[in-house]
Amino acid sequence: MRTFILALAAIVPASCAIDQAFAADKIPVFNIPQNCKEATAGGIATVEACTKDETDAKSQLAKSWSQFGASAKKACIGEASSGGMQSYIELLTCLEMSAGGHFSSPGQ
């Protein structure tokens, strides 16, 4: 039993590292309705407005995802997912900032 636990302890971090390496290849999947419900619980904005903003940010990410480097994507995915909340707006903002102002959104 002890050998099994030790083997499992070695496998789990390795699989997480592999998952993180591939995570930057595609836009992460965030639960927009759930995140907006939690984000608007204080009554500052409506769930509908939050959902629209998050959906718009995700669409923008889909258009520009390939323009960002893998290390920036990985770092920004972590930042946009911190604290239990997940935000495409935060992800897009982080990536744009990491580009040092050299990013040009499609349509601009």
Say which residue the tokens 């770092």 belong to. 75
Contact 46, 101 (CB under 8 A): no
> What is the average pLDDT across 16-30?
65
Instruction: Look up residue 11 and give its DSSP letter.
Output: H
Q: Is the pLDDT of residue 71 over 70?
A: yes
Q: Is the pLDDT of residue 26 over 50?
A: yes
Q: Is the pLDDT of residue 68 over 90?
A: yes
Q: Is the pLDDT of residue 22 over 80?
A: no
First to last CA, the chain: 60
